[in-house]
């Protein structure tokens, strides 16, 4: 079954669940009303469904190759990228004065969701450029902005970020790449980076690498790291291309999935670079890009979940097997357990998508509302971790719906499971996201969390008149989560870390109950969304209680068994 981007679903969530109309209060987005959004979503859905999605299978079967030091991309990818560039989608977040669309992050998140569902491998490329554009807009000199932004925004050049090294993964501060001043305003960059997404391609005129490196006077750890722009080809002052820089693609990683996305090992041998931001503040500059990317990765997880769900739904309705106890179609969708899986896939995808869109909305509103900015920051690790966990889990469930055929590559179900797996690892593993949630994000004594819980409980109270049973369940879950937050902020840090993952999942569970309840109320308690909300609130929301019980346990039992005992047969 071909993927179809669900534009109507995005429109419903934006209008009825995350209250997109509030964005008219933000000056920079005053002209982005519901009608404009509908047009944007329709155009993006058409591109994703008709142009990008047909490339997905080919990208998996004929992945990117490295030949004579250059990357050869999958058949059709160049045309797909050109369509994205021509439509202005690469610069959809960029400021209009730089040639971008200036769209709200919430809308860009919806578009990235669609493109990821269509072809995750290709959609990674513009996501990298989007993050780099934002980093340059915030931190680069005017000279760098005027030279690089127009080319990145129109898709002539592509952007990457270079953090990871073989000895410095999540611990970025352990990196060994060096930078020395050349005395002319440029720097010489030497070192090797791994896991560089879209580190090269055969359809971009230039590849612009943002590279973390340490200056001679940089202290050890993250506080001594600086950020540099290191282009594949050094541009002249007028934007034309000059000499090749001293960098190369050493090899491509052989990956479980996303075969169409070239993941490069990059070598810098005295390559010429330009400082972005202030010396020794590279992590601060890079985090501008990474926060953008984390919400983008959340959308990737949701997009894959949507695609896997669509394929499973189609297969379950066509596959005749056994003697179902309900229904007359004879298809496996009439079996209770298959129906359970399909309902779970649809309910979970809705929650993950709405968390991501709500996060984007809060960040958009945060341009003029400090409380919303705090909410957006709080939701980022939940959006990233839950969205990508659900992408992986739903894709795995899609394989299960297919039965034995799901394990056969020809059905396409296995590709979603392989592709989605990386999303819970890159841009900060989901364990790190959870640790961030229980440490930095609860560092205000739980105020941001309590504000969200106040919102959930307030809505549930108002909803009691229309849907008393479901509203009561959501309110009670929020109150239990409130007690969980109160308990977490009293624990020592490592005890918090021990319970971080179940705590994050519990928070997402309660957010899910809230969003499903809002969807049901929006259709006045009658219709498919009410039925799906009932399924979620009665069957999945109760998990929050057990998750919070785990979160409170602390770390002692994790260390009770020594490594020798754990390793013993």
Tell me if 51 sits within 8 A of 394, measured CB to CB. no
Distance in angstroms (rounded) separating the CA atoms of residues 153 and 98 = 8
> Which structure tokens are listed for 476?
């009670």
Tell me if 34 sits within 8 A of 20, measured CB to CB. yes
Residues sharing a CB contact under 8 Å with residue 472, sequence separation 6 or more, in sequence order:
460, 464
Residues sharing a CB contact under 8 Å with residue 84, sequence separation 6 or more, in sequence order:
47, 52, 90, 115, 126, 155
Tell me if 384 sits within 8 A of 391, measured CB to CB. no
Q: What is the per-residue pLDDT across 35-82, written as a single tens digit (0 to 9) for each?
A: 999 999 999 999 999 999 999 999 999 999 999 999 999 999 999 999
Tokens 């929006």 appear where?
Answer: 522
Distance in angstroms (rounded) separating the CA atoms of residues 256 and 305 = 17
All residue ranges of the chain with pLDDT < 50 are none
Helices (H), 101-233: 105-118, 120-139, 142-154
> Which structure tokens are listed for 215?
């200056």
Which one of the listed residues 306, 348, 393, 427 is annotated catalytic? Answer: 427
Tell me if 204 sits within 8 A of 158, measured CB to CB. yes
Dihedral pair phi/psi, residue 67, rounded to 5°: -135, 120
Helices H, strands E: what count in the chain?
19, 11
Q: Report in angstroms the alpha-carbon separations of 124 from 18, 180, 456, 552.
A: 26, 31, 34, 37
Helices (H), 366-429: 370-402, 413-421
Whether residue 328 lies in the annotated active site = no
Number of C-beta neighbours around residue 446 at 10 A: 16
Distance in angstroms (rounded) separating the CA atoms of residues 56 and 117 = 9
Q: What is the per-residue pLDDT across 454-478, written as a single tens digit (0 to 9) for each?
A: 999 999 999 999 999 999 999 999 9
pLDDT at residue 321 in the model: 85
Q: What is the dihedral angle through the alpha carbons of 368, 373, 374, 376, rounded to the nearest 10 degrees?
A: 150
Tell me if 371 sits within 8 A of 281, measured CB to CB. no
Strand pairing class (187-197; 225-231)? unpaired
> Which structure tokens are listed for 187?
């720097």
Does the CA dihedral 562-567-568-569 come out positive or negative? positive
Q: Is 406 left (phi over 0), alpha (psi -120 to 50) or beta?
A: alpha
Distance in angstroms (rounded) separating the CA atoms of residues 179 and 472 = 59
Using alpha carbons, select from 385, 348, 378, 351 the residue that is nearest to residue 362.
Answer: 378
3-state DSSP assignment of residue 198: coil
pLDDT at residue 289 in the model: 73
Let me know if 319 is exposed, middle or buried by CB neighbors in 10 A (0-12, 13-18, 19+): middle
pTM over 0.95: yes
pLDDT at residue 348 in the model: 98
pLDDT at residue 172 in the model: 87
């Amino acid at each position: 079954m071909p993927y179809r981007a669900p534009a109507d679903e995005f429109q419903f969530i934006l209008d009825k669940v995350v209250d997109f109309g509030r964005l008219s209060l933000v000056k920079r987005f005053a002209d982005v009303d519901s009608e404009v959004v509908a047009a944007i979503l329709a155009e993006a859905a058409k591109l994703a469904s008709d142009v990008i999605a047909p490339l997905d299978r080919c990208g998996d079967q004929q992945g990117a190759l490295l030949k004579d030091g250059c990357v050869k991309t999958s058949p059709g990818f160049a045309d797909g990228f050109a369509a994205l560039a021509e439509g202005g989608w690469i610069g959809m977040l960029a400021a209009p004065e730089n040639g971008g669309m200036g769209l709200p992050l919430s809308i860009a998140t919806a578009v990235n969701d669609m493109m990821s569902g269509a072809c995750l491998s290709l959609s990674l490329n513009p996501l990298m450029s989007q993050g780099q554009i934002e980093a340059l807009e915030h931190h680069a000199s005017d000279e760098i902005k005027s030279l690089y932004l127009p080319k990145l925004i129109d898709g002539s050049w592509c952007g990457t970020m270079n953090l990871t090294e073989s000895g410095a993964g999540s611990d970025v501060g352990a990196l060994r790449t060096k930078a020395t001043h050349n005395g002319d305003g440029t720097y010489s960059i030497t070192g090797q980076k791994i896991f560089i997404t879209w580190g090269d391609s055969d359809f971009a005129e230039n590849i612009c690498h943002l590279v973390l490196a340490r200056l001679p006077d940089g202290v050890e750890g993250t506080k001594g790291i600086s950020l540099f722009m290191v282009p594949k080809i050094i541009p002249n002052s007028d934007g034309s291309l000059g000499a090749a820089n001293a960098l190369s693609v050493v090899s491509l990683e052989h990956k479980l999935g996303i075969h169409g996305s070239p993941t490069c090992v990059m070598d810098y041998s005295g390559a010429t670079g330009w400082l972005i931001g202030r010396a020794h503040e590279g992590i601060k500059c890079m985090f501008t890009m990474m926060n953008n990317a984390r919400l983008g990765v959340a959308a990737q997880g949701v997009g894959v979940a949507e695609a896997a769900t669509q394929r499973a739904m189609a297969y379950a309705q066509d596959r005749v097997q056994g003697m179902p106890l309900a229904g007359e179609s004879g298809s496996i969708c009439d079996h209770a357990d298959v129906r359970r899986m399909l309902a779970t896939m649809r309910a979970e995808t809705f929650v993950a998508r709405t968390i991501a869109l709500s996060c984007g909305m809060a960040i958009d509103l945060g341009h003029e509302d400090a409380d919303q900015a705090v909410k957006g920051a709080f939701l980022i690790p939940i959006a990233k971790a839950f969205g990508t966990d659900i992408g992986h889990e739903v894709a795995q469930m899609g394989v299960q719906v297919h039965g034995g055929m799901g394990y056969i590559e020809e059905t396409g179900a296995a590709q979603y499971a392989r592709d989605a797996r990386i999303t819970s690892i890159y841009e900060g593993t989901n364990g790190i996201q959870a640790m961030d949630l229980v440490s930095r994000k609860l560092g205000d004594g739980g105020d941001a969390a309590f504000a969200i819980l106040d919102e959930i409980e307030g809505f549930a109270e108002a909803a009691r008149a229309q849907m008393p049973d479901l509203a009561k369940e959501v309110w009670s879950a929020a109150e239990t989560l409130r007690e969980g937050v109160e308990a977490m902020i009293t624990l020592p840090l490592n005890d918090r870390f021990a319970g971080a993952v179940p705590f994050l999942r519990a928070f997402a569970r309660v957010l899910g109950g809230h969003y499903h309840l809002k969807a049901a109320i929006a259709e006045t308690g009658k219709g498919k969304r009410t039925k799906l909300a009932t399924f979620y609130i009665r069957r999945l929301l109760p998990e929050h209680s057990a998750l919070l019980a785990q979160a409170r346990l602390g770390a002692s039992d994790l260390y009770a068994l020594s490594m020798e005992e754990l390793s013993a047969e």
